[in-house]
Amino acid sequence: MRVRMHGLRLLLVGKAPPPPLPDGISVCGRVPPETQDALLLQHLQSCDGLLLYRVDPAQKNRLIRLCCSESRCICAIPDPEEILLQGRPLLLWKPGLSPLQRFAKRSLDLVCSLAGILLLWPVMLGCAAAVKCCDGGAVLYRQQRLTEGGRVFTCLKFRSMIPDAEAGGAQLALPEDARITPVGAFLRRFRLDELPQLFNILHGEMSMVGPRPERPAFAERYTAQEPAFRLRLQVKAGLTGLAQVWGRYDTPPSEKLRMDLTYITRYSIFKDVEIILLTARALLLPPHGVTLQPQPKEDPT
């Protein structure tokens, strides 16, 4: 259930009074960032969440993990010099969907994944044949990824790189990567390598719309750099998402994270339908619609 926007009572974690807050948000107390988790949990019994101000990254990481585990909301206020650029604090409301929203989202996923499989099976059969004929290797590439709640699942994709692409260890895959096969380049250009994930959606491991799934090792690295990254795991990983529709090749990771969190905290079934339609338009009519730019990927598929 989403935390209401008005009448929100937050516990301030910081050593200085915060700047003016938006209407409807009040401070119910203040504690230093080094306060132990047990004492913070006692304070949270009478508050809706935490208000973070001038907290160093290490402490912020711990506090975000605590709020995620307790399903509490978070409000992170930029430093004064950052407010001039951002305009107002970045409010991260309690992530998650209501039971009704979950039912609607799962129903949409079932309809879209079944329709996609039934309509696109000739295309998928052609992709599989092309990958096999290219070098005789495996058709599918299976990789461990993270979805809702940090659960690990096997993400399916048509293989688009040489069979031993990761012989030297995990590497970031770039658009002009020499390991990409000719067939793989074509599949990536039109995002056809992602089609097997329709079966992940049908199985309930992914959703049609949501943050793109990350590998556990990379997710751990990103979380160490930006604690709010773990909030992406409050919903299922998606085949497409707000960051994929509106983001570009040079969009900073922090901006993509903001798009993912915006999608989660302002979720609606109508937004899912809109993103699906925008994705389809961008793939079918790239000159006239939103352009899905090639993105650097963390897997050798």
pTM above 0.95, yes or no: no
| Mean pLDDT, the chain cut into blocks of 10 residues (301 residues total) | 59 84 84 91 88 85 80 75 51 68 96 96 96 92 93 96 73 73 91 96 97 90 80 91 78 80 86 93 62 46 39
pLDDT of residue 108: 97
Per-residue pLDDT, 172: 65
Exposure b/e, 137-167, CB count within 10 A at least 16 = b: eeeebebebbbbeeeebebbbbbbbbeebbe
pLDDT at 298: 47
Q: Determine the Cα–Cα distance for residues 146 and 212; give it in Å rounded to an integer.
A: 9
Q: Which pLDDT score is estimated for 95? A: 54
